[in-house]
Structure 1
Amino acid sequence: MSVRVVVADDHELVRTGFRMILNAHPDIEAVGEAADGAEAVSVAHRLRPDVVLMDIRMPRMDGLEATRRLAGPGVACPVKVLMLTTFDLDDYVYEALRAGASGFLLKDLRRDDLVNAVRVVAAGEALIAPSITRRLISEFARRPRPPAKTPPPLDSLTAREREVLVLMARGQSNAEIAATLVIGEQTVKTHVSNVLAKLLLRDRVHAVILAYEVGLVRPGTP
């Protein structure tokens, strides 16, 4: 079945371009579009797409607020949101992920990367551009966040799962974690799934944020 996508951007040419790129692939269908955040929420509720491509800066309601209403904490039936922006700013990245976004990419990405990102997010995975992962970690190093009021039960993790969580927080991919720990990549995927399940996290992006917030990983340490 096709991955159904809604494109939300206040520039008509951008929306048209994204739709043309996505519709060129038989497994993806751009089913709707929106010119601002409020319209994005309305269209997404009506069409229930698999993924919403969401710009950040839009009139009436920005992409961050729209994402909170579609995928934020307490949303009964969240929609997967993939943020796309020209603004590589720390606060945008952090707030987008806290709002419930499953991915954050810059608009200067190649068309193949855009298509792959939609597929990855639709499959339930999280995706952040490598440069943005570095910026996210840098944000914690520059302005550390206080620990969460109620830390999750990290004791439920095995020693190996804690190792995997730490390496995830360092921005390593599954392949890099496998090489670091000298284990198979499929084994890494199993550990990642266990970490998310035990800590009641939706995806690895939020696992990275949590690892810093509870002090499991400290900014600036090797």
Structure 2
Amino acid sequence: MNTPEKKPVEVVLVDDHRMFRSGVRAELGGAVSIVGEAPDVDTAIAVIRDVRPPVVLLDVHLPGGNGNGGIDVIHGCKGLETADGQPVRFLALSVSDAAEDVIAVIRAGARGYVTKTISATDLTRAIQRVADGDAVFSPRLAGFVLDAFGAAAGEVAQVDEELDRLSAREREVMRLIARGYQYKEVAKELFISVKTVETHVSSVLRKLQLSSRHELTAWAMGRRLL
């Protein structure tokens, strides 16, 4: 029995540089479907409200609006849903890796933040994950968010029954995955194979009774383990 081919994720691309938008479109090819573009805050809000895509690929610094760039776009599209009732989700794509930019955009409601050094393959994967409801960050950027939100919550990491279920290696893998590392990056960091990483992640999710990397990040954040 043939499995139906998964349709490319529809994306609205928001960036004030036309050449960059053209480059992204060319690099992604048919892996995603770019259904709209915008160069500024006001145009972006109009296009997103009209198209209602599953994912908006959003630059952080944009002209127009109230001067807050991508944050104004997110605020202007609060509560929007796609045709099938899913929320319109935002993935920041920026040249900036400054902590204040990352934290501000995530606080505004973006589901992830990646830098413009990302490869086309990884960007495609990030778009798909955001469409599926996961949180996605370039490696190391997740630490900014976890530190900021953990500090705001005033919580302290504690040894608990759930954490005690994990082996020392599973805890190492869990921390890196929750920070946004890809499997191959975890493997390189810990000097293990990608297959071993996959095995550990499956074990961690099973032991903690979680179903996704997003839930794992939230779990780790709540305990300030990262």
> Do both share a fold (TM > 0.5)?
yes
1:180-217 deviation digits (Å, cap 9, x = unpaired): 9xx75334345667488xxxxx9348716852xxxx32
Match in the other structure for 1:154:
none
Uncovered stretches (5+) of structure 2, i.e. residues with no partner:
1-6, 82-86, 187-194
How many residue pairs match? The answer is 194
Residue pairs, 1:154-193, within 5 angstroms: 159-160=162-163, 167-168=174-175, 171=179, 184-190=200-206
Q: Is the 8 A contact 2:141 2:179 kept in 1?
A: no
Q: Is the 8 A contact 1:168 1:208 kept in 2?
A: no
Match in the other structure for 1:5:
11
The answer to whether 1:203 aligns with 2:214 is yes
- Deviation of 1:140 after TM superposition, in Å, equals 4.1
- Deviation of 1:92 after TM superposition, in Å, equals 1.1
- TM-score scaled by structure 2? 0.67
Q: Is the 8 A contact 2:138 2:181 kept in 1?
A: no
1:106-161 deviation digits (Å, cap 9, x = unpaired): 11122222222212222222210113124445x549x943539xxxxxxxx97259
Match in the other structure for 2:89:
80
Q: Please give the alpha-carbon distance, in whole angstroms, between the structure 2 residues aligned to 1:54 and 1:19.
A: 14
Q: Please give the alpha-carbon distance, in whole angstroms, between the structure 1 residues aligned to 2:63 and 2:132.
A: 30
Moved over 6 A (4+): 161-166
Match in the other structure for 1:153:
none
Question: Structure 1 residues 59, 172: CA separation in 2 closer, same or farther (over 3 Å shift)?
Answer: closer
SS at match of 1:105: strand
Question: Structure 1 residues 172, 7: CA separation in 2 closer, same or farther (over 3 Å shift)?
Answer: closer
Match in the other structure for 1:36:
40
User: Structure 1 counterpart of 2:201, which letter?
Assistant: E
Match in the other structure for 1:97:
106
User: Structure 2 counterpart of 1:55, which letter?
Assistant: D
- Among residues 68, 76, 82, which one is paired with 2:75 in the alignment? 68
The answer to whether 1:112 aligns with 2:112 is no
Identity of aligned residues (%): 26
Match in the other structure for 2:22:
16
SS at match of 2:109: coil
1:40-84 deviation digits (Å, cap 9, x = unpaired): 2221111111211000000113102212343x5xx2633111101
Q: Please give the alpha-carbon distance, in whole angstroms, between the structure 1 residues aligned to 2:88 and 2:23.
A: 22
Q: Please give the alpha-carbon distance, in whole angstroms, between the structure 1 residues aligned to 2:208 and 2:14.
A: 31
Q: Please give the alpha-carbon distance, in whole angstroms, between the structure 2 residues aligned to 1:57 and 1:162.
A: 43
Q: CA RMSD in A?
A: 3.9
Q: Please give the alpha-carbon distance, in whole angstroms, between the structure 1 residues aligned to 2:44 and 2:107.
A: 19
Match in the other structure for 2:191:
none
User: Structure 1 counterpart of 2:43, which letter?
Assistant: E
Question: Structure 1 residues 123, 195: CA separation in 2 closer, same or farther (over 3 Å shift)?
Answer: closer
| Range with greater deviation from structure 2 (157-166 or 39-48) | 157-166
Q: Please give the alpha-carbon distance, in whole angstroms, between the structure 1 residues aligned to 2:119 and 2:104.
A: 25
Residue pairs, 1:41-52, within 5 angstroms: 41-52=45-56
Q: Is the 8 A contact 1:93 1:136 kept in 2?
A: yes
